[in-house]
C-alpha cells in the first residue's frame, strides 16, 4: 500500500469554492506547518477558492467551530468543505486518546448532519518525530493531503449534484 493516497499532481479546479480550515493553536510549530501546507496546496488545486482560517486554542475546541461553520445558512456563505487540523501528542495517560476519539466522532457527525465534506487531519501521534514527518515533511505531509482530500471530495459532490 502506498503512503500517497492521492495522485501526485491533481489537476487544478477553477470553480469558485469556499473552504474553511479550523486549526488548533496548540503545538504551534506543527499545526502552523499543517495550515501553511494546506493553504499552499489549496491555492494550487483551487485557485479561485476563498480560504477562511479559524484558529482555536486546542484540538478539543475544533469540533464546535467546525459545527458552527457547517450550520451557516446559504445566505451566510456556507462552506463547500471544511478541513480540521491539529496535532495531539500522546503522553503517559489516556487523555490524548479520549480527546482524539471525541474529535473524530464529532467531526463525522458534523459532516453527516450537514452533508459537507469535513476532512479530518487532527493527528494523534506518539512523539515529536512523527509530528515533524507529518506536519513539516514533504513525504507524509498531512496538510497537503488534507487539501487534496478536500479537492477530491468537491469533485465527488459535484458529480452527485451536477446542477450546483
pLDDT of residue 121: 98
Assigned domain for 13 exists = no
Domain assignment present for residue 150? The answer is yes
pLDDT for the residue 2:
43
* 102 located within any domain: yes
**pLDDT beneath 70: ranges in the chain:** 1-12, 14, 73-76, 162-164
> Could you tell me if residue 135 is inside a domain?
yes
User: Which of the 8 DSSP states describes residue 11?
Assistant: P
User: What are the residue ranges of helices labelled H in 25-141?
Assistant: 28-45, 62-70, 95-114, 128-135
Give the chain's length.
164
Q: Model-level pTM?
A: 0.90
pLDDT given for residue 103 in this prediction: 97
Domain extent for 133: 18-160
Q: Distance of CA 139 to CAs 18, 57, 145, Å?
A: 27, 28, 10
Nearest-angstrom CA–CA distance, 159 and 28: 37
83 closest CA partner among 100, 70, 92? 70
The phi-psi region of residue 9 (left if phi > 0; otherwise alpha if psi is between -120 and 50; otherwise beta) is: beta
pLDDT at residue 75, rounded to an integer: 57
pLDDT at 46 (0 to 100): 94
Q: Alpha helix (H) ranges present in 115-141?
A: 128-135
The answer to whether residue 58 is domain-embedded is yes
Per-residue pLDDT of 22-49, as tens digits, reads 999 999 999 999 999 999 999 999 999 9
The reported pLDDT for the residue numbered 1 is: 35
Residue 87: CATH number of its domain: 3.40.50.960
Q: How many domains does the chain have?
A: 1
Q: Report yes or no on 6 lying in a domain.
A: no
| Residues belonging to the active site | 95
8 occurs within a structural domain = no
Residue 149 lies in a domain: yes
Amino acid at each position: 500500500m502506498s503512503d500517497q493516497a492521492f495522485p501526485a499532481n491533481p489537476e487544478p479546479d477553477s470553480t469558485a469554492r469556499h473552504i474553511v480550515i479550523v486549526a488548533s493553536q496548540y503545538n504551534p510549530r506543527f499545526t502552523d506547518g499543517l495550515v501553511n501546507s494546506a493553504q499552499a496546496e489549496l491555492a494550487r488545486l483551487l485557485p479561485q477558492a476563498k480560504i477562511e482560517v479559524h484558529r482555536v486554542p486546542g484540538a478539543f475546541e475544533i469540533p464546535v467551530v467546525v459545527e458552527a461553520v457547517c450550520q451557516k445558512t446559504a445566505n451566510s456563505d456556507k462552506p463547500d468543505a471544511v478541513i480540521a487540523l491539529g496535532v495531539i501528542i500522546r503522553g503517559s495517560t489516556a487523555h490524548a486518546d479520549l480527546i482524539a476519539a471525541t474529535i473524530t466522532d464529532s467531526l463525522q457527525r458534523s459532516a453527516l448532519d450537514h452533508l459537507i465534506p469535513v476532512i479530518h487531519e487532527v493527528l494523534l501521534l506518539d512523539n515529536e518525530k512523527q509530528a515533524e514527518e507529518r506536519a513539516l515533511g514533504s513525504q507524509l505531509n498531512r496538510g497537503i493531503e488534507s487539501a487534496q482530500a478536500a479537492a477530491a471530495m468537491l469533485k465527488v459532490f459535484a458529480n452527485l449534484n451536477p446542477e450546483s
